Amino acid sequence: MITAGAMSVPRVPDEAAFRARLGRSGHLVDGWLDLAIDLDGAAIGRIQTFVPAERPLPPGTFDVGINLDEDKRGKGYGREALVLLTGWLFEHAAARAVEAPTDAANVAMRTVFDRAGWSLAGSVTELGRQWVMYRVTRQEWAAR
């Protein structure tokens, strides 16, 4: 995660909170999980679950964020990482639903969600912006 490309965040994270988050990287703690996306031993991005500050999540629901290095996009690595994490959350973390917001104009990410078996579930306003929300339930995942 430390060597992965920069993510676009709306504000600089609190340093102490960020260090604590890095310290638990690789472990699911209170809805948070941070993982590197690895390609042949090199970190090419990151994928994580997170708890939105402005929106409480129902029990068993996980929000996902993902970022890939620009030169690795469009090659299936993001979809593979999303599929692997989604499956793990349903198998090992008692997930009932997995969801992710993205910008409506982010056609590449919306395509990843579609190809991974997720569905458009509506929209959400967070951090002063409107996002489209993609989602998959345990039952939908098992049936895909």
For residue 138, what is the domain's CATH number?
Answer: 3.40.630.30
What ranges in 9-144 are assigned the alpha helix state H?
15-23, 77-92, 107-115, 138-143
Average pLDDT over residues 136-143: 98
Distance separating alpha carbons of residues 140 and 135, to the nearest angstrom = 10
pLDDT at 133 over 60: yes
How many domains are contained in the chain? Answer: 1
pLDDT at 14 over 90: no
Give residue 114's pLDDT band: very low, low, confident or very high (50, 70, 90).
Answer: very high
Tokens 């345990």 sit at which residue? 138
Element (H, E) at 121: strand 119-126
Tell whether 106 is covered by a domain: yes
Tell whether 92 is covered by a domain: yes
Tell whether 6 is covered by a domain: no
Q: Which of 109, 77, 126 is nearest to 134 (CA)?
A: 109
Percent of the chain at pLDDT above 70? Answer: 83
Tell whether 77 is covered by a domain: yes
CA dihedral sign of residues 75, 80, 85, 90 = positive
**Amino acid identity at 109:** M
Tell whether 24 is covered by a domain: yes
Q: Which of 89, 19, 91, 92 is nearest to 100 (CA)?
A: 89
Q: What is residue 74's three-state secondary structure?
A: coil
Tokens 């970190």 sit at which residue? 43
- pLDDT of 22 reads 64
Instruction: Write the CA distances from 37 to 65, 94, 107, integer angstroms.
Output: 12, 22, 21
Tell whether 7 is covered by a domain: no
Range of the domain at 121: 15-143
Identify which has the larger pLDDT, 72 or 128. 72
Tell whether 82 is covered by a domain: yes
Look at 26-30, 40-44, 63-67, 89-93 and tell me which has the smallest mean pLDDT: 26-30
Tell whether 8 is covered by a domain: no
Phi first, then psi: give them for residue 114, nearest 5 degrees: -60, -45
Q: Token pair for residue 23?
A: 């310290």
**pLDDT tens, 53-80?**
888 999 999 999 999 999 999 999 999 9
Identify which has the larger pLDDT, 38 or 25. 38
